[in-house]
Structure 1
């Protein structure tokens, strides 16, 4: 069997499952087990993981978790980073803690590394896999920041209105007309409201992607600023005023792909070897009923 790596953005999956199963409900209406543990998001999460395993049959699997948002490298660089986000609901935090314990119990590889975000963990493993393996690498996340990691080996599973799409390098190039490495340049101009990354004020989607398509990246855009194509003349002053924010935003948007502790890892820890009885017992201990094929 050809080796295949499936990487899960842990909080992305768990939070989506949590909010999908808690929508319109008060805390007291959320499903709990007899021990009082919230399990509404956990059941959906575990069900999804089993489905992903059946569909993609990975030989290696890992789950990446974020550290607290105030403890990241990017927060050190820019204090306002993710500063507009609300606190996580207590039931979601509890289910994160339960999920970590559950995955440890059944022997799934999971990683939380101080000062680094899940994106950096995924980015470093993706780069390491590209350098050391020939099989496919699939990232499960709806976070489009991760599109910068796409390559012939690496794709991203993204939920769409038509269902889940295994979004490849070809999909990206057809949609955006740039290389995935240039995605950070588009984001540097646009910014990101969800992460509170400023971007360049006044430069929106109509200009950001075409600028990168034509000039290659923000370094080249600023080198060519006095002689930009006529269709961008009205953005010159905005680009000049936002130069510092553009380069800061690019730094914040760029996924780190050389986290030292990951570069030293062997792939043995990520080999997918879950014993059925262990999985059944772990689910039973949480009182979560899921059909296991």
Structure 2
């Protein structure tokens, strides 16, 4: 041991240090580790029981600071046998010119009372073995300069308490391998600035509890390779301000009660060269070169005879 004296008074000795010996060996074994300088404090197993019985104190573990001075392998080693605390009353600046590795075998808690700014010049990789939860009390903004990819191995849910909007500067593609189900409690409005095209390989069903309206400022075209069925339990009407044209190979009409055709000028029924023309003041029948005119003056036959059999 090393004995020192208070105020250099030989009557005031005290033990100021101890020297290495067989019972108190140097922390780094000598002489192989002569390049190391260590400061250590061994942990004492000084329990209440040993204090009461005045039994011998057993050393267990140590707190250590070791400095290694081998060229190109310089190192500072710090060991805390149990807890390690730091108190910095002002700023703390840390600069690492190469890599940093950190392993926490238990929980890791960090609290920042003001702003947390992190700048990564190259890449950031986060690997989480279990759950990942983020709680933001106010706003959250994410800016991605190029592409953004989200890969979800199972389910993906997005819950928005109020409004939600999405802006896409160019094209957007959605691919669904199975079904798409959409539930809208109120109205749906869509505005397409260009064309719209839908291809359905199966059937299309559109059910409306109230009305169903299709409007076009130019034309509406319905085409079917086989047939088109229109069914209504009540009324069915078509209306046009100008021309109404029907073209078919054949046409069949079955009316259970009344059938009325009302024209403001002329009604023409024609089969080949045979025709019946009804006007407001006469009816003209043409067949086989014979023309019959019925008007207010009577009946006139042109190009044929009137026979009674």
Q: TM-score range by the shorter chain?
A: under 0.3
Larger Rg: 2
TM-score by length of 1: 0.16
Q: Higher relative contact order by CA 8 Å / sep ≥ 6: 1 or 2?
A: 1
TM-score by length of 2: 0.16
> Which has a greater percent of helix?
1
